Structure 1
Amino acid sequence: MKTQDETLEDWCRALQQALELEDVEVDINEVLALAGVAAHSIVRPAAPLTTFIAGFAAGLAAGSGQASDAASMQAAMAVARKLAKDYQASEASGA
């Protein structure tokens, strides 16, 4: 029986292959961490929405030649993580 990590790695590879993204390195733990921040800082459904938008932004940046795939993803995820934490802080303060 596969572990959760093995299942996620298999799924990620299968999805990347289907989308012809085999050469893109995906840090599954980093993506899941961002999803966790969004889910706990905003509301649970913000997790997939946040990771989708961050990935889309990274793809646009990399596709336009602004930065490498890895740098684009790191930058987009950092912005999303900061915004989620700031959102939580502003909601907590009633702003």
Structure 2
Amino acid sequence: MTTNPDAQERALSDWSRLLTQALQILDLEVDQKMLVELGRRSEQTVGGDAGLVSAFVVGYAAGLSKTSGRKSAAEAVQSAADTAFQLAETGLDGPGSRQQSEEPGWKDSAQ
């Protein structure tokens, strides 16, 4: 991982774009700065992986307020988590990324 702040911000933006496309939530604007700050604060006050847990719980709560009824909340979370884990295996070089734009992508894989 790079230590250049501009490169980190660009990578986070690319990752957010790739993940929201894979999960077919194209209208979502991810506030990376807020999530990073939430993570930092949670880790400072709680420790360990509290930032990760905090980001998840915030996302889950937001998702509950927007549940479409197609799936239960647990199924929607599991489906999103499975996709995120799959993407995390290859990071920004995975299907749907700019580097792999000729691939069919994730169009039909999300909830």
TM-score tier, shorter chain, comes to: 0.5 to 0.7
What are the Cα deviations for residues 37-66 of structure 1, in whole angstroms up to 9, with x where unaligned? 1100101211101110111011101337xx
- From 51, 56, 76, give the equivalent of 1:47: 51
After TM superposition, the structure 1 = structure 2 runs for residues 15-94 of structure 1, keeping only pairs within 5 Å, are 15-63=19-67
Counting matched residue pairs gives: 63
Within 2, Cα distance between the matches of 1:44 and 1:33?
15
Aligned-pair identity in percent equals 35
Gaps in structure 2 of 5+ consecutive residues: 1-5, 69-111
Q: Which runs of 5+ in 1 are unaligned?
A: 65-95
User: TM-score, normalising length from structure 1?
Assistant: 0.61
Q: Secondary structure at the match of 2:66?
A: helix
SS state at 2:10 partner = helix
C-alpha separation between the residues in 2 aligned to 1:50 and 1:6?
22
Secondary structure (helix, strand or coil) at the match of 1:43 reads: coil
Deviations 1:11-34 (A, max 9, x none): 110000000011111110001111
**Structure 1 stretches of at least 4 aligned residues deviating more than 2 Å after TM superposition:** none
Paired residue type of 2:26:
E
Q: Between 55-64 and 44-53, report the one with greater CA deviation.
A: 55-64
Q: TM-score, normalised by structure 2?
A: 0.53
Structure number with the higher helix fraction is 1
Residue type of the alignment partner of 1:8: L
What RMSD in Å do the two structures reach over aligned CA positions? 1.5
